[in-house]
Structure formats: structure tokens, C-alpha cells
Amino acid sequence: MSVNTTRARILRNTGFYIAAFLASVFVATPILFALLGGFKDNQQLRENALGLPDPWHTDHYLDVLANATFWRQLGNSVLIALATTFIVVAAAAAVAYIFARFQFKGREGLFTLFAAGMMFPFAVAVLPLFIILRTFEMLNSPLGVILPQAAFGLPLTIIILRSFFRHIPAEVEEAATIDGAGPWRFFVQILLPMSRPVIATVSVLALVGSWNSYLLPLVVLSKPTWQTLPLGVTQFQGEYSTETAKVLAFVMLAMLPALVFYAFAERHLISGLTSGGTKG
Amino acid sequence: VTPTRDQIRSDAGRAGGGAPPRRGRGRRPGAGTLAAFIAPALILFLLFVLVPVLFAGYTAFFRWNGLGGLPTDFAGLENFRTLVADEVFLGDLGRIGLITVLSIAVQLPMAFGLAMLLHQRFPGRTAFRLLFFVPYILTEAVTAVLFGLIFSPRRGFADAVLAGLGADGRIGWLSDRGIVLFVIFGILTWKFFGFHMILYLAGRQNIPEELYEAARVDGATGRQLFRHITLPLMGPTVRITVFLSVIGTVQLFDLVYVLTKGGPYHASETLAITMYEQGFVRGQIGYASALSIAMFLISLVFALIYQRYVLSRDTQGALTSTDGGRT
């Protein structure tokens, strides 16, 4: 390799690092502010906003971790996310199986109906949804959040699952039929296990959607019992509006589960989002 | 700005709907089996998606406070007439327009540039890619609380950074009507550029390297490669990210509501916030329904026009190429 190309490469790489470094500062600064701010006291936040904590206070983080409300909201968020995911994936898989592998009158019309659900922004439905949930006496109940979330997750989940199910060879199904498996057994014992990767992808999308959901819990869960973490963070800030460091510790701990989840499910998350965004 | 999972797929899915049944697919299942597999999803969908949306379409024609049975005070088009003269609603449209323009002019190019950068092989690029996507996975409401503290009027972190850079004086980041929307745009960029970057990165990876090799053999310069290969072949991805960005902006709620509640004096209000305030705070259910319908129509009309004139050739190409001649 000649001196010239080596120099060009070093120059090029330096340029890359400068640009990537600037973007990293932009991205990381707010998160570091939360992380470090939680270890400061309010005086340090005022007088030493940019530096490291000195001394490091752990009491804000420990206070949050000892706070029963934080754990209850965390538990509520987890429970609601898991229930939403289970319901939407189960219901969508069943109907996607029918769409993918059976022929009957009205099939395409029915599929179009579900697919058209993609066109309804959630905010459009939230007001009438509130009135309907009030009528069913489902306000302040986790089901009042779980069922609408699952319903709004159906279109995307059905579309993704159907396209995957269609590509499972008919021979597999024929073999199962010859062995005496009916549609139920084929669905539960063969199709679903064969579809594990795509089930993981749609599950991750549903989990993340529920975890981040704010507007629906805001209108449905006015009593504290079932309130979720996003509601908890905004309330905590309202309660302790003068104690910035305490709120930062709460914010950081509320972000932590998503960060850990991202570390483990990064591949499924990215593949789910990009397969949606680029192909269809 | 907010990439809700896209509406495009609905259309792509539909376009692929008529694949010829393969052997074994033409069976007629028993009606009971069919019903059992379809019922859970259908009931859920009717009850919590279709009925509410239709109900919003109905109540938009009434004066109603939401109490006591169905609405009875029929108002015709009154709510919609109020709507088109409502300065807050018209302001919402202007703000959507501004954020859309800024996103396309600043946020998407930044995401594109970083994607091209991270496509190059250099040590550490995976770490950068992982980091840039982090803001996207954080909950909007939680992000909003964090940035509320950063841009706090009580000598917040943003003021301290400015002071550290030698610029004195405090800025009313979230209280100055002239700049609040730009601050929110900055936060939206922070939150969402990583998502668009990931899409661009995936799009770039789908371009076959042989094209570049062939062009290089023919003596093309780096700039020519970018201009004549990268840009045109990234077209479909770019068009989809623009679409997602616009649809997300129309539906923007969580981040802005938690950060400013739309204030000061509506300066950062969005359509969804106006709807929320009218419906849940003031109890004007009829009027809020009209706002919902307006939001729906704006998304729908934009989606239809965009798909008809901008995306149509992409989805055709995409379907035929990824699905081996599906027609």
C-alpha cells in the first residue's frame, strides 16, 4: 500500500470519527445528564451542572428503589405489556393463519378491513374509546388499556404474520394432514413453532408499543392502582418539581428497563422496524 | 417525525393479496373452525377500533358533553364550520407544516449522512450505530420529562451549557413563543433521527456492491458514484421515511403534551393536543370528535395522495422484486 492511500485513509477515518463523535455527544449528553444528575444534589445541579458529581450521592437512586409506587408502576407496565402482547399475537396469528392458508368467500374483503385499520391514528379513536370503556365500566381497569392496545396492534401484526405464514410450503401442511392433524393441531404444533422468529419480531413490536403507551393510560387510568411507568414519571415530576436530582434519578431508572431490553432484543427490534419501513 | 409503524404496509399487503393458491390451499374449512380462528381478532377489532372510529364520525355532528346515553342535540356541520375558523386549529396545521419542513430539511438529511457514514467500514461503527438508536427506544413521555428539566426555566442544564460556552443570559427555551417550537423540533430530532438512520442503513445495504465496482472500473469518481448510484437507489427508502415523518408529525402528542401542554398560549400545540383539551378537559365531545375526524382525514388524504403519486412505482417494484413475480 502506498504512502498516499494510507494517508488518505487516515484522513478519511479521522473525518468519520469527528462526525460520529459530534453525533454521539448530541445523543449521549441528555442521557448522561440524567444518569449523573441523579447522583448530584440540587446545589450541585445548580453550581456544577456540567461536571461530575462531587461528592456522589446515592440516596436519590436508593429512595426511588425503595419507593413502593415505583415498583408498582413498573409491575403494572410489565403486566399490561405482556398481556397486550399475548392477546394481540394470539388473536392475530389465528386469523393470519386463516388468511394465509384457507380459501373462502369474503377472505380478501375481511383482510382489507383489518389492513385498513393501519389508517386509523390512535388519537382519532381515544375519545370515543373513553366513552365506550366508561359504558363497559372498564375505566381504571388494566383491561381498559390492554384490549384497545391489542386491537390497535392487530393490523400490523396480522399483515406481518400472514405474509410469513404464506411462505410455509403446502407440503408441510399436507404431511401433517396425512398424519391426521386437523387445523388446530397443525396451527399449534407445527405452524407456530415454525414461525418462532417472526413471532418474536411481532412480540417485540407489541411489547415496545405497550411499554411506551401514554395517551390511553392517561385517559383510562385516573386512579393510582393500575397506573403505568410513563404516567408515574410525569406525576413524580409534578410532585417533586423543585427537586430536580430526585426526578432525574426516577427518570433514569424508568429508562433502564428499555435500555436493558434493547441490549438483549436489539436484533429483533431493528429487524421488525426495518422490515416494516423498507419492504412491506 | 414520529415513525408510527407505517400505513404503507396496509397497501403493500393488499397489493399482494391475490396470490394464486398453491396446492392444498383451496380447501374449504368447516364454518365452525373458521369462526373460531377469526372471532377473537374480529371482535377485538370491531369493538375497540372500528366502532370508536365510526362513533367519532357520528358524534362530530352533535353538540354533546359526553354524558347520558347517545348524543341528541344534532348540530349538522356546525362543529366543522367552527373548526375551519378556529385559530388554534389553523395554527396546528401551520405548526405541523413547519415541523414537517424542518424534518425534511434537517432531520432526515442528518440521518442520511450518518447512515452513509456508518455504512463505511471503520472500527467502532457498531457501537455508534447502537448508540444513535438509543433515543428512539425511550418512552416519549419519559423523554419529555427529561428534556423539561434540561430546558428548565430555573437555571437548567441547557442554560448551564450556554454559560459554559461563554454565552450569557437565559433563554426561555419552553416559555418563549418564538422559539419553543424549534426547541421541540430539536428534541424530536434527537429522539427520531436514529430510526430514520437505521432505515437508510438498511436501504444502503440493499444496494449491490457490484454496481459500485462496475462504475469504478469505468472510472467513476466518488461523487459520481453517490450521485448516480446511491441517491437514485435510495429513493424508495427516502420516500418512505418522508411519509413516516409526516404521518408521525400529524399525530404528535405524548412528547409535546408532557413537555409544554401545547403552550405557551398554543405556541407548541398539536392537533392531538387540541383534540385532547377540547374533549377531555372542556367536555366538548362533539367538537373534539370533529377535530379527530379532521386529523384522520388529513392523514388519509396525505397517505392516498402520497401513495398515488410518490410511492406507487416503489411499491410495485418492491413487490415484484422481493416476491418473485407476484402480480
- Kindly report the backbone phi and psi dihedral angles of residue B281, in degrees, each rounded to the nearest multiple of 5, phi listed first: -95, -45
Inter-chain CB proximity A234 and B145 less than 8 Å: yes
- pLDDT at site B33: 84
| Single pTM value for the model | 0.85
Q: Is A124 on the interface with B (CB under 8 A)?
A: yes
**Residues of A with CB below 8 A from B68's CB?**
none
Higher pLDDT, B57 or B23: B57
Decide: A155 and A115 in contact? Cβ < 8 Å. Answer: yes
Interface of A with B in 56-85 (CB under 8 A): none
| Closest CB to A94 among B41, B144, B254 | B41
Instruction: Kindly tell me if the per-residue pLDDT of B182 is higher than 50.
Output: yes
Residue the block writes with cell 374533549:
B279
* Mean pLDDT over the full length of chain B: 82
- pLDDT at site B18: 42
Instruction: Kindly tell me if the per-residue pLDDT of B319 is higher than 60.
Output: no
3-state DSSP percent of chain A in helix, strand and coil, to 5: 80, 0, 20
Closest-CA distance of chain B to residue A162, Å: 9
**Residues of B with CB below 8 A from A148's CB?**
48-49
Alpha carbons B327 and B323: distance in angstroms, whole number: 9
**Confidence tier at B283 by pLDDT (50, 70, 90):** confident
Decide: B314 and B15 in contact? Cβ < 8 Å. Answer: no
Inter-chain CB proximity A251 and B24 less than 8 Å: no
CB atoms inside a 10 Å sphere around CB B57:
16
| Closest CB to B141 among A113, A122, A214 | A214
Inter-chain CB proximity B37 and A13 less than 8 Å: no
- pLDDT at site A30: 92
Alpha carbons B5 and B2: distance in angstroms, whole number: 9
Helix (H, G, I), strand (E, B), or coil: what is residue A67?
Answer: coil
- pLDDT at site B220: 86
Instruction: Kindly tell me if the per-residue pLDDT of B8 is higher than 60.
Output: no
Type and span of the H or E element at A240: none
CB atoms inside a 10 Å sphere around CB A154:
28
Inter-chain CB proximity A104 and B300 less than 8 Å: no
**Residues of B with CB below 8 A from A231's CB?**
141
**Residues of A with CB below 8 A from B24's CB?**
170-171, 173-174, 177
B261 — alpha (psi -120 to 50), left (phi > 0) or beta? left
State the Cα angle at B246 between B245 and B249, rounded to 5°.
Answer: 85
Q: How far is CA B25 from the centre of its chain?
A: 37
Inter-chain CB proximity A278 and B206 less than 8 Å: yes
- pLDDT at site B28: 57
Inter-chain CB proximity A215 and B276 less than 8 Å: yes
Q: What single-letter amino acid sits at A90?
A: A
Tell me the per-residue pLDDT of B161-171, one tens digit each, with 9 for 90 and over.
887 787 766 78
Decide: B191 and B138 in contact? Cβ < 8 Å. Answer: yes
Instruction: Kindly tell me if the per-residue pLDDT of B5 is higher than 80.
Output: no
| Closest CB to A30 among B125, B146, B319 | B146
**Confidence tier at B315 by pLDDT (50, 70, 90):** low
| Closest CB to B8 among A16, A266, A280 | A280
Instruction: Kindly tell me if the per-residue pLDDT of B12 is higher than 80.
Output: no
- Kindly report the backbone phi and psi dihedral angles of residue B63, in degrees, each rounded to the nearest multiple of 5, phi listed first: -90, 125
Q: Residue B238 half-sphere exposure, CB side, CA atoms within 13 Å?
A: 17
- pLDDT at site A19: 86
Name beta bridge partners: B62. B74
Write down the ipTM of this complex: 0.87
Inter-chain CB proximity A214 and B203 less than 8 Å: no
Closest-CA distance of chain B to residue A29, Å: 10
**Residues of A with CB below 8 A from B19's CB?**
166
Give the per-residue SS3 of chain B: CCCCCCCHHHHHHHHCCCCCCCCCCCCCCCHHHHHHHHHHHHHHHHHHHHHHHHHHHHHCCEECCCCCCCCCEECCCHHHHHHHHCHHHHHHHHHHHHHHHHHHHHHHHHHHHHHHHHHCCCCCHHHHHHHHHHHHHCCHHHHHHHHHHHCCCCCCHHHHHHHHCCCCCCCCCCCCCCCHHHHHHHHHHHHHHHHHHHHHHHHHHCCCHHHHHHHHHCCCCHHHHHHHHHHHHHHHHHHHHHHHHHHHHHCCCHHHHHHHCCCCCCCCCCHHHHHHHHHHHCCCHHHHHHHHHHHHHHHHHHHHHHHHHHHHHHHHHHHHHHCCCCC
- pLDDT at site B126: 85
Of B10-19, B198-207, B259-268, which range is least confident?
B10-19
Inter-chain CB proximity A120 and B53 less than 8 Å: yes
- pLDDT at site B138: 92
Closest-CA distance of chain A to residue B278, Å: 10
Q: How far is CA A50 from the centre of its chain?
A: 32
**Confidence tier at B324 by pLDDT (50, 70, 90):** very low
Please give the C-alpha separations between residue B161 and each of A51, B169, B251, in angstroms, as whole numbers: 11, 11, 32
- What DSSP line would sit under A138-153, residue for residue? -TTSHHHHHHHHHHHH
Sign of dihedral through CA atoms B266, B268, B272, B276? Answer: negative
- pLDDT at site B89: 92
Mean pLDDT of B19-42: 70
Tell me the per-residue pLDDT of B89-140, one tens digit each, with 9 for 90 and over.
999 999 999 999 999 999 999 999 999 988 888 778 888 888 999 999 999 9
State the Cα angle at A203 between B190 and A119, rounded to 5°.
Answer: 65
Q: Is A181 on the interface with B (CB under 8 A)?
A: no
> Which chain A residue has its CA at the smallest distance from B255's CA?
A214
Instruction: Kindly tell me if the per-residue pLDDT of B317 is higher than 60.
Output: no
Exposure string (b/e) for B266-285, b if CB count within 10 Å is 16 or more?
bbbbbbbbbbbbbbbeeebb
Q: Is A224 on the interface with B (CB under 8 A)?
A: no
> Which chain B residue has its CA at the smallest distance from A231's CA?
B141
Instruction: Kindly tell me if the per-residue pLDDT of B276 is higher than 70.
Output: yes
Closest-CA distance of chain B to residue A254, Å: 8
- pLDDT at site B25: 47
Inter-chain CB proximity B149 and A16 less than 8 Å: no
Please identify every stretch of chain A with a pLDDT value under 50, giving residue numbers as ranges: 1, 277-280
CB atoms inside a 10 Å sphere around CB B76:
9
| Closest CB to B10 among A110, A116, A124 | A116
Q: How far is CA B173 from the centre of its chain?
A: 24
Closest-CA distance of chain B to residue A119, Å: 6
Instruction: Kindly tell me if the per-residue pLDDT of B275 is higher than 90.
Output: yes
Inter-chain CB proximity B55 and A16 less than 8 Å: no
Mutate to test the interface with A, among B14, B49, B237 (most CBs of A within 10 A): B49
Closest-CA distance of chain A to residue B178, Å: 23
Closest-CA distance of chain A to residue B187, Å: 10
Decide: A144 and A138 in contact? Cβ < 8 Å. Answer: yes
Percentage of chain B exceeding pLDDT 90: 34
> Which chain A residue has its CA at the smallest distance from B188's CA?
A27
| Closest CB to B131 among A27, A123, A124 | A27
Q: Residue B205 half-sphere exposure, CB side, CA atoms within 13 Å?
A: 12
- pLDDT at site A4: 65
Decide: B112 and B200 in contact? Cβ < 8 Å. Answer: yes
Residue the block writes with cell 393470519:
A96
Tell me the per-residue pLDDT of B247-273, one tens digit each, with 9 for 90 and over.
889 889 999 999 999 879 899 999 999
Inter-chain CB proximity A230 and B118 less than 8 Å: no
Inter-chain CB proximity B134 and A262 less than 8 Å: yes
